[in-house]
């Protein structure tokens, strides 16, 4: 499970965009977005760097990850 701090998320469209970006890397990933906390939890077998890059490419900068 990855826990990411993601900026620029403010609405349901943002949630859908981030989820779609992660699922493009791993179609079986579980994605949980917390808009208020600007956090995204991802359960995925994909490498962390690939997940971070996909989210960033969708326009949402990842400022921290663990």
What does DSSP assign to residue 46? S
**Along the chain (66 residues), what's the average pLDDT of each consecutive run of 10 residues?**
96 97 98 97 97 97 95
Structure confidence at residue 48 (pLDDT): 97
Structure confidence at residue 33 (pLDDT): 97
The answer to whether the Cα torsion of 35, 6, 13, 47 is positive or negative is negative
Closest by CA to 47, choosing from 32, 26, 27, is 26
Structure confidence at residue 53 (pLDDT): 97
Q: Is 13 helix (H, G, I), strand (E, B) or coil?
A: helix
* List of E strands, 21-66: 30-34, 39-43, 62-65
């Amino acid at each position: 499970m990855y826990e990411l701090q993601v900026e620029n998320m403010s609405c349901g469209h943002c949630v859908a965009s981030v989820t779609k970006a992660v699922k493009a890397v791993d179609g079986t990933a579980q994605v949980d977005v917390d808009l208020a906390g600007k956090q995204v939890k991802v359960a995925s077998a994909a490498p962390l760097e690939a997940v971070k890059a996909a989210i960033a490419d969708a326009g949402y900068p990842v400022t921290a990850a663990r």
